[in-house]
Amino acid sequence: MNILVLNCGSSSLKFQIIHTDLDLIDKDADVQKAKGLIERIGSQSLVTLQADGRPPLKVAAPLRDHKSALDYVVRWMVSPEAQIPGIRSLADIHAVGHRVVHGAEKFTRSVIISDEVIDGIEDCIDLAPLHNPANLKGIYAARELFGVGVPQVAVFDTSFHSTMPETSYLYAIPYQLYRRHKIRRYGFHGTSHRYVSYRYRQITGKDREQIKIVTLHLGNGCSACAITGGESFDTSMGLSPLEGLVMGTRGGDLDPAVLEFLVHKEGMSMSELDAMLNKQSGLIGLSGLTNDMRDLLEEEREHHDRRAALAIAIFVQRVKKYLGAYLAEMNGADALVFTGGIGENSSTIRERVCDGLDWLGIKLDPKTNADLPRGTEGVVHAADSRVHIHVIPTNEELLIARDTVRCVKDAPRRW
């Protein structure tokens, strides 16, 4: 089956076309046929389209909404210039898989999208006002374009964490607030944590039940996950993706009293607080320079920028803090897994995170770590490290495509 995987943000649309099926999943023989990104939907949009094995095509086009953006992608996809093998008309797309950020307690696994599911995703908007409306735009656009004959599947960022026990997911606030409004920790990046734990299982040949690891998704958004028995036991993001680690533009953990203080001292409104927490904090807030870890590392090295160095140090210390907490919660772990743009590409950050943790049985091999080519899979621990250290590039799109096939074929979801 050819699966169109869609990940819609408020003004962006990312897609991939992946050829997969139940037997291809078993053989790990899925094929990525094309991918692309449309940014700045609503004005002069920037479009990047790439068929597998061919150079990317970059163009600007006035695309007023997600429907026009998807329309543009589909027209390119079926055009002779794209030359995507096996894709000649709309009928060659057999199903659409959507990334949906928040599924709350309602969606604990991926599901075929029906009217009822759409209502359910709408009900979660209160919990994810920045993300779910954008995901819904993608769903509506795909429905309109492909019609009801093409099944669509929703894959939720939160569902992998639905196995967390109450002791991990409840906030210590009045219990009635959980009852009344479902205020609790949900966790995000579930598709990424699930994918890398699946790859870890493949690499090590372990059974799912034997898996006890800490996965560190370090990208522009960052989260850690304690996985035991193959299931999420605890994770660093909470009701929203604001909690936990330091990220590109989000600061992670914060005493809630800071917000009231800012309302009084600076007269900040809710929307200003929201912008501060989501867009002006984290690496960019601390450094005053950039949310990009690559640039910060450069500034620190080349220009000895004190605040760049501080931002990196706080980022690293927070990762260590969560790592220590998860090792304590799980009575140790067999491995750490680094993933995400920073985790996959930055040997420096991996080294700094693992530095001084030998008493926990975590010993990185500096040379193997530094020599690992960027964005590739590998093991980077020293021979005598009790806890193994893996680098596994994430592939959320592949998991979305595979879940889509499994839902459409009504096959059990194993990972």
DSSP bridge pairs for 61: 45
Residue 415 DSSP SS3: coil
Task: Please report which residue ranges of 147-231 form alpha helices under DSSP H.
Answer: 166-169, 175-181, 190-204
- Residue 249 engages ligand AMP in binding (rule: CB under 6 A): no
Amino acid at the residue 382: A
- Residue 293 engages ligand AMP in binding (rule: CB under 6 A): yes
| Interatomic CA distance for residues 389 and 334, integer angstroms | 9
Q: At what angle do helices 257-266 and 270-279 cross, to 10 degrees?
A: 120
Beta carbon nearer to ligand AMP, 102 or 217: 217
* Burial group, residue 39, by CB count within 10 angstroms (0-12, 13-18, 19+): middle
- Residue 9 engages ligand AMP in binding (rule: CB under 6 A): no
Q: What is the DSSP letter of 384?
A: T
- Residue 215 engages ligand AMP in binding (rule: CB under 6 A): no
CB of 337 to ligand AMP, least distance (A): 14
DSSP bridge pairs for 364: 381
For ligand AMP, which stretch binds (CB under 6 A), given 12-20, 206-214, 256-264, 290-298?
Answer: 290-298
Torsional sign, CA 56, 62, 66, 70: negative
Residue 276, Ramachandran bin (φ over 0: left; ψ between -120 and 50: alpha; else beta) = alpha
Beta carbon nearer to ligand AMP, 214 or 293: 293
Q: What binding mask, one character per residue, do residues 363-392 give for ligand AMP by CB under 6 A, x or -?
A: -----------x------------------
Beta carbon nearer to ligand AMP, 139 or 286: 286
- Residue 287 engages ligand AMP in binding (rule: CB under 6 A): no
| Interatomic CA distance for residues 286 and 353, integer angstroms | 19
CB of 340 to ligand AMP, least distance (A): 4
Task: Please report which residue ranges of 288-395 form alpha helices under DSSP H.
Answer: 293-298, 306-330, 340-345, 347-354, 366-371
Given 287, 346, 385, 404, the residue binding ligand AMP (CB under 6 A): 346
| Interatomic CA distance for residues 409 and 117, integer angstroms | 18
- Residue 187 engages ligand AMP in binding (rule: CB under 6 A): no
Given 294, 301, 303, 409, the residue binding ligand AMP (CB under 6 A): 294
CB of 112 to ligand AMP, least distance (A): 29
Given 151, 241, 248, 285, the residue binding ligand AMP (CB under 6 A): 248
Catalytic residue, from 21, 157, 234, 403: name it: 157
- For residues 267 and 273, the answer to whether their CB atoms sit within 8 Å is no
Q: What binding mask, one character per residue, do residues 217-236 give for ligand AMP by CB under 6 A, x or -?
A: --xx----------------
Beta carbon nearer to ligand AMP, 234 or 396: 396
CB of 291 to ligand AMP, least distance (A): 6
CB of 12 to ligand AMP, least distance (A): 13
Beta carbon nearer to ligand AMP, 19 or 217: 217
Locate 329 and state its tokens. 């919660």
- Residue 301 engages ligand AMP in binding (rule: CB under 6 A): no
CB of 220 to ligand AMP, least distance (A): 3
Beta carbon nearer to ligand AMP, 9 or 341: 341
Amino acid at the residue 306: R
| Interatomic CA distance for residues 164 and 158, integer angstroms | 11
Task: Compute φ and ψ for 40, nearest 5 degrees.
Answer: 55, 45
207: annotated active-site residue: no
Closest-approach residue to ligand AMP (CB):
341
What does each C-alpha distance from 178 to 170, 184, 185 come to in angstroms? 8, 6, 10
Given 292, 305, 351, 377, the residue binding ligand AMP (CB under 6 A): 292
Interface ranges with ligand AMP (CB under 6 A): 219-220, 248, 292-294, 297, 340-342, 345-346, 374
Which amino acids are annotated catalytic? 157
